[in-house]
Amino acid sequence: MKALRTLVMLLGFAGPLVAQDTTAAPPAAPAAMPSNVSVEAVLARSVVDRAPQDTGTAFPDSVGTIMLWMRATGASGQTLHHVWFFGDTEVGDVPLTIGGSPWRTWSRKSVPMDAKGAWHVEIRDDAGTVLKRIDFTVGQ
């Protein structure tokens, strides 16, 4: 009986003394959750009663102001950014807080008469992920 008790005690202490394999790769970090935010967006010359008017992707150099109208779904409480580019140069970043789902909102960009050429605007989340991009031209 004494031998059995000694054996049980030895086995009881053996557990913590077992070596652990540290060469195995650490567990992978969980993958980022896919964004459940979706956006519809159009460029327009104006917004009337929360609806875009005179939409398009080509505007005359006399346009003066261009609006980016968007309808966001699944972004309640988040901030989305309208990031405006002339060529490859960022010329504006408008943060917009989304108050519900779906939520309509818009930003505007003043366009100087001499800013002819290729433009684009990106809708980004706070992490910088581009949710939508719209390319457009001015004066061509």
Domain residue limits, the chain: 39-138
- Cα–Cα distance measured from residue 32 to residue 37, given in angstroms and rounded to the nearest whole number: 14
Q: Which amino acid is it at 115?
A: A
State mean pLDDT over 58-86: 96
Residue 6 has pLDDT above 60, yes or no: no
Residue 31, Cβ neighbours under 10 Å: how many?
A: 6
Q: Which residue has the tokens 């818009």?
A: 106
Measured between its terminal Cα atoms, the distance across the chain in Å is 98
> Cα separation of 85 and 137, whole Å?
11
Architecture of domain 39-138: Sandwich (2.60)
How high is the pLDDT of residue 103? Answer: 96
Q: What is the pTM of this model?
A: 0.74
Burial pattern 85-101, b for ≥16 Cβ within 10 A else e, equals: bbeeeebeebebebeeb
Q: Which pLDDT score, from 0 to 100, does residue 11 have?
A: 46
Mean pLDDT of the 32-41 span: 76
